């Protein structure tokens, strides 16, 4: 297997060899914000795969993108606001050069004025009853829509917008009441009496429902506006900086130091803390969920809906009052090293206040790691191994961290020990990750050879290869993909497809992300200025992936050998829907080949699968459901009277009922864990529950069912 230390490129990591080659430049003058924007843009000009001129054209595109980003729903700005902002449309390039945020500052000023204005509007509008029994319709706006010309026009849009929300809530309440009545009718007299005592059913008039809906809506909008007003200027400035980076390509991004830390946690699948998800509630922070198996969950001292009032560290007498503090700041006080203790003063739902202590630990988000099962095949006495890989994770910060390639090798060896007849590797919804892990992993199925070509700026090319002639799995292999399989998932699928080693099965095509990003710590690219560091990190596109056959995965993705119906197949998704994606290109193919397992009968496999799909009522329903999804996505007009809105929702609900139990029946049988995994699973009640859900999902999955059919065909034709 190729040594990890010899692979120089990673989709997610700046390696030491690269950073050593980055010669720091003299820091530009100015305050921290000025240095950030200038240093960020210099790094993009120096290292981006496809640098661009920072000129008037760049300015105009960034101007439009940023305004769409902050007001895509067209709820705040008017054409008059834009006329005030438009003086900056062709000046952003000059402002970048000067380290200035003039356009951003003016936009924020107009934004705050718009919030003041619209806050008064919605409160005035919601203070009076709507006539929901009559009205025309509302056409929802998005970033393709024009802007309201005047305040009067925008105010009317707000009124219609909220009337639609009120009508929607009234309809929901009516439907919930009718469902409750229907449910009570099915109860025994004793059950009905108990239910009526605990929660009497009272039918409310439309007038009462409308009033209650307006009151809820005021509360909802007040919360929303409060969150917007509390948003940190650093977060808002980061949004502006990312409008600039988006001009280069969709994956080039600026990260504040806190944002980079959150990315590392998501990527490694672990964090050190108490294992709770938090959200702002009134003036305090509420516990919204507990990570099953985490320290807070195990302690039984914290519960969902507890309000955190203050945070104290061990050996510190003073607690930090977190009243009015944003969640991201509260997390900074609660998160900490394994083994340390944090004290939280919490207000329980019953009103009692107490201080609880939690010992921090490493919270492993184990659902993000590779897992395997054994399923009965279609053929007589067939046993098929199924592996689910949610991402190409890699914990580079920890010597004993989890790496997806290592884990997949372990799962394959366990399945081999059970003498499975074929393997299904599920990469659906796998957004990618570590490039070096995908190179290693691809090598488990072929002898040594090229896996992916990586081309940099100026055409510099490197071929990343598996150097180990050993093959971990040499039998029938299916790779399941869909339109959300991206980046590293596409590399593995493309390599095994080009080698004719596996049958790639799934929706029309994968995501189409064929670019390589690296993180650059901006502190290391300028000399001096310790007084303003840390500046943050820029993730930028430096290379493109190419298949061993020379074609790029960019935009076009990977087209499966066998395409199966998908409920989202008619929706516009993928890289081609992003702003400013890099184009599809091709280079010379590499020399490649393998003699482990060849598939010369692909056309026959495809024909047999197509025939089965045409006879499968579930897949036929999926095709119809795709049309329904498309209609729902495209709908942008809603009636503004109760009767018509109710008719619309009832029609939608009736149609949805046809697909309610689409995956309700077991189609795959004897779905079982491998015996050696059971000790770890049964040691933790939370893992038992998650494992049961995992197996139930596999048992009902028609895509896995068709993969089992294809493996049977492969074995018959081999």
Distance CA 456, CA 153 (A): 50
Band of pLDDT at residue 710, cut at 50, 70 and 90:
very high
pLDDT digits (tens, 9 = 90+) for 523-560: 999 988 888 989 999 999 999 999 999 999 999 999 99
CB 390 within 8 A of CB 425: no
Strand partners, 455: 461, 544
Mean pLDDT of 411-420: 98
CATH of domain 369-517+541-600+666-717: 3.90.226.10
pLDDT at 59 over 70: yes
Mean pLDDT of 591-599: 96
Strand partners, 193: none
In this structure, are strands 449-456 and 461-466 parallel, antiparallel, or unpaired? antiparallel
Distances (CA, A) of 304 to 227, 278, 336, 346, 501: 21, 10, 21, 11, 49
Band of pLDDT at residue 3, cut at 50, 70 and 90:
very low
Mean pLDDT estimate for the chain:
89
CB 435 within 8 A of CB 10: yes
Distance CA 306, CA 330 (A): 14
Lowest mean pLDDT among 68-82, 152-166, 219-233: 219-233
The tokens of 323 are what? Answer: 């009243």
Distance CA 13, CA 426 (A): 25
Question: Which range, 16-25, 370-379, 453-462, 564-573, has the best average confidence (pLDDT)?
Answer: 370-379
How high is the pLDDT of residue 337? 83
pLDDT at 99 over 70: yes
pLDDT at 14 over 50: no
Q: How many CB atoms within 10 Å of residue 595?
A: 7
pLDDT at 9 over 70: no
How high is the pLDDT of residue 271? 55
pLDDT at 282 over 70: no
Lowest mean pLDDT among 125-139, 205-219, 653-667: 653-667
What is residue 392's DSSP assignment?
B
Superfamily of domain 271-364: PDZ domain (2.30.42.10)
How high is the pLDDT of residue 283? 65
How high is the pLDDT of residue 410? 97
Mean pLDDT of 245-250: 95
Mean pLDDT of 443-471: 94
Mean pLDDT of 372-392: 96
How high is the pLDDT of residue 270? 53
Strand partners, 484: none
Lowest mean pLDDT among 55-59, 423-427, 455-459, 555-559: 455-459
CB 103 within 8 A of CB 95: yes
How high is the pLDDT of residue 367? 67
How high is the pLDDT of residue 116? 97
Mean pLDDT of 309-337: 80
Quickly tell me which residue has 């080949």 as its tokens: 593
How high is the pLDDT of residue 324? 67
How high is the pLDDT of residue 22? 60
* CATH 2.30.42.10 placement within the chain: 271-364
Distance CA 162, CA 168 (A): 10
pLDDT at 329 over 80: no
Instruction: Give every CB contact of residue 420 below 8 A, 6+ residues apart in sequence.
Output: 374, 383, 384, 385, 475
pLDDT at 1 over 90: no
Strand partners, 26: 527
Q: How many CB atoms within 10 Å of residue 583?
A: 9
How high is the pLDDT of residue 310? 87
How high is the pLDDT of residue 292? 59
Distance CA 485, CA 507 (A): 10
pLDDT at 509 over 50: yes
How high is the pLDDT of residue 18? 44
pLDDT at 227 over 90: no
220 versus 556: the higher-pLDDT residue is: 556
Burial 74-84 (b: 16+ CB within 10 A, else e): bebbbeebeee
pLDDT at 569 over 90: no
pLDDT at 166 over 50: yes
Please count the CA atoms within 13 angstroms of the CA of 697 that sit on its side-chain side: 11
* CATH 3.90.226.10 placement within the chain: 369-517+541-600+666-717
Secondary structure (3-state) at 190 = helix
Lowest mean pLDDT among 86-100, 197-211, 699-713: 197-211
CB 126 within 8 A of CB 217: yes
pLDDT at 122 over 70: yes
pTM of the model: 0.81
Band of pLDDT at residue 632, cut at 50, 70 and 90:
confident
Q: Phi and psi of 714, rounded to 5°?
A: -60, -40
How high is the pLDDT of residue 397? 73
Instruction: Give every CB contact of residue 536 below 8 A, 6+ residues apart in sequence.
Output: 36, 40, 254, 255, 256, 257, 259, 260, 522
Distance CA 99, CA 94 (A): 9
pLDDT digits (tens, 9 = 90+) for 438-451: 999 999 999 999 99
How high is the pLDDT of residue 459? 79
Q: How far apart are the first and last CA of the chain?
A: 28
Strand partners, 207: none
């Amino acid at each position: 297997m190729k040594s990890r230390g010899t692979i120089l490129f990673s989709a997610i990591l700046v390696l030491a060899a690269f950073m050593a080659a980055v010669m720091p430049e003299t820091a530009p003058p100015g305050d921290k914000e000025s240095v950030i924007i200038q240093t960020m843009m210099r790094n993009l000009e120096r290292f981006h795969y496809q640098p661009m001129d920072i000129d008037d054209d760049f300015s105009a595109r960034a101007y439009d993108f940023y305004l769409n980003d902050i007001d895509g729903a067209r709820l705040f700005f008017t054409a008059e606001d834009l006329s005030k902002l438009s003086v900056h449309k062709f000046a952003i390039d000059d402002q970048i050069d000067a380290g200035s945020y003039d356009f951003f500052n003016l936009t924020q000023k107009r934004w705050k004025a718009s919030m003041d204005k619209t806050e008064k509007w919605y409160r005035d509008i919601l203070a009076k009853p709507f006539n929901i029994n009559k009205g025309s319709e509302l056409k929802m706006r998005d970033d393709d829509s024009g802007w309201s010309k005047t305040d009067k026009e925008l105010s009317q849009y707000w009124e219609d917008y909220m009337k639609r929300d009120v009508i929607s809530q009234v309809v929901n309440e009516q439907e919930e009441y009718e469902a409750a009545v229907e449910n009570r009718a099915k109860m025994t007299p004793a059950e009905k009496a108990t239910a009526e005592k605990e929660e009497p059913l009272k039918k409310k008039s439309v007038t009462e429902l409308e009033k209650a809906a307006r009151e809820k809506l005021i509360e909802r909008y007040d919360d929303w506006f409060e969150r917007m007003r509390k948003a940190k200027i650093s977060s808002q400035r980061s949004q502006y900086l990312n409008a600039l980076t988006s001009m280069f390509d969709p994956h080039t991004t600026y990260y504040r130091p806190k944002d980079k830390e959150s990315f590392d946690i998501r990527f490694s699948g672990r964090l050190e803390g108490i294992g709770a998800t938090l959200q702002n509630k009134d003036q305090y922070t509420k516990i919204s969920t507990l990570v099953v198996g985490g320290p807070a969950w195990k302690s039984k001292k914290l519960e969902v809906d507890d309000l955190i009032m203050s945070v104290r560290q061990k050996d510190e007498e003073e607690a930090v009052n977190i009243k009015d503090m944003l969640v991201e700041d509260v997390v900074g006080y609660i998160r900490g090293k394994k083994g340390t203790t944090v004290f939280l003063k919490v207000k329980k739902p019953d009103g009692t206040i107490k201080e609880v202590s939690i010992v921090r630990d490493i919270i492993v988000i184990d659902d993000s790691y590779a897992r395997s099962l054994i399923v009965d095949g279609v053929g007589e006495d067939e046993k098929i191994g199924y592996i689910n890989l949610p991402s190409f994770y890699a914990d580079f910060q920890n010597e004993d961290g989890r790496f997806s390639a290592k884990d997949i090798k372990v799962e394959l060896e366990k399945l081999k020990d059970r003498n499975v007849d074929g393997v299904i590797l599920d990469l659906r919804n796998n957004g990618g990750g570590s490039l070096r892990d995908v190179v290693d992993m691809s090598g488990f199925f072929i002898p040594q050879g090229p896996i992916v070509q990586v081309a940099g700026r100026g055409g510099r090319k490197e071929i990343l290869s598996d150097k180990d002639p050993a093959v971990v799995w040499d039998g029938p292999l299916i790779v399941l993909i869909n339109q959300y399989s991206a980046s590293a998932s596409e590399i593995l699928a493309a390599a095994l497809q080009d080698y004719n080693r596996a049958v790639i099965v799934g929706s029309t095509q994968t995501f189409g992300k064929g670019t390589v990003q690296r993180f650059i710590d901006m502190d290391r690219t300028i000399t001096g200025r310790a007084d303003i560091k840390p500046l943050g990190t820029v993730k930028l596109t430096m290379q493109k992936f190419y298949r061993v056959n020379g074609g790029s995965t960019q935009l076009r993705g990977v087209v499966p050998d066998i395409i199966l119906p998908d409920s989202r197949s008619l929706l516009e998704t993928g890289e081609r829907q992003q702003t400013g994606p890099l184009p599809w290109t091709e280079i010379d193919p590499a020399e490649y080949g393998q003699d482990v397992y060849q598939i010369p009968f692909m056309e026959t496999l495809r024909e047999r699968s197509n025939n089965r799909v045409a006879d499968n009522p579930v897949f036929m329903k999926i095709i119809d459901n795709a049309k329904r999804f498309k209609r729902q996505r495209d709908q942008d007009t809603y009636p503004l009277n109760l009767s018509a809105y109710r008719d619309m929702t009832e029609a939608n609900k009736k149609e949805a009922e046809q697909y309610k139990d689409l995956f309700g029946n077991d189609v795959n049988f004897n779905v079982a864990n491998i015996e050696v995994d059971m000790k770890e699973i049964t040691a933790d009640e939370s893992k038992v529950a998650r494992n049961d859900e995992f197996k139930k999902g596999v048992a009902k999955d028609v895509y896995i069912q068709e993969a089992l059919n294809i493996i049977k065909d492969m074995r018959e034709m081999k």
